[in-house]
Amino acid sequence: MSVSTNDLKNGMTLDLPGDGLFSVVEFQHVKPGKGGAFVRTKLKNVRTGAVIERTYRADEKLEQAIIDKREMQYLYRDGDHYVFMDNTSYDQMNVDEAALGSAPGFLKEGDSAILQMYGSEIVGVDLPAAVVLTVTQTEPGVQGDRVSGARKPATLETGLVVQVPLFVNEGDALKIDTRSGEYITRA
């Protein structure tokens, strides 16, 4: 589907010939005193995360990639693959770990995630803003050791390691920010 550079929106996904899939991070219409108007864009490669800057003539046609967002439930891990079930059709799908990016660190069995699909390829994962995970291993906090801002590493049930305050113990349920991977609070 073609889209004009005048109709670009942040978050829109474009299929650039020879370069692949890019999502629009930022765009700016420029009308210089002389010459034709143009659109300056900042585009993020959906697969690699690399950001590039491109300039297009105003009203130039680009190919828009239609991304299908499907809500899926994470069932279990099978070797290097994660098995998801489509919440509407109940079809199961094996997903390669590499296609999920950092998402496996925040997913436990039974959790839902929205998989962004382009054809049969997964190009992104939308997670909730925060998830609750249980601490499986951390050093015990020492009584009286309450230095403000002091942190220690804690391993969560998904294998993710985060820096937590000294008072956090094994078995505690913690709220973790999925965008930054940081500890928010005890749940």
Report pTM.
0.73
Q: Which two tokens stand for residue 164?
A: 């937590």
Please say whether the dihedral angle defined by the alpha carbons of residues 106, 111, 117 and 120, taken in this order, is positive or negative.
Answer: positive
Q: pLDDT tens, 97-146?
A: 888 888 888 998 999 999 988 888 888 888 888 899 999 998 886 666 56
Interatomic CA distance for residues 85 and 75, integer angstroms: 7
Map residue 90 onto helix, strand or coil: coil
Distance CA 90, CA 92 (A): 6
What is the set of domains in the chain, with CATH numbers?
A: 2-63 (2.30.30.30), 68-126 (2.40.50.140), 130-186 (2.40.50.140)
72-104 tens-digit pLDDT = 999 998 888 899 999 888 889 888 888 888 888
pLDDT of residue 174: 92
Q: Is the pLDDT of residue 150 over 70?
A: yes
| pLDDT (0 to 100) of residue 147 | 62
Burial class (CB in 10 A: 0-12, 13-18, 19+), 114: middle
Each residue of 3-44: pLDDT tens digit? 888 888 888 889 988 888 898 999 999 998 888 899 999 998
**pLDDT over threshold 80, residue 149:** no
Beta pairing, strands 51-57 & 61-63: unpaired
Residue 55 · residue 39 · CB < 8 Å: yes
CB 182 within 8 A of CB 162: yes
Most confident of 63-77, 116-130, 146-160: 63-77
Please give the pLDDT value at position 87. Answer: 87
Residues 14/63, Cβ–Cβ less than 8 Å: yes
The answer to whether residues 112 and 178 touch, using CB atoms and an 8 Å cutoff, is no
pLDDT of 167 > 80? The answer is: yes
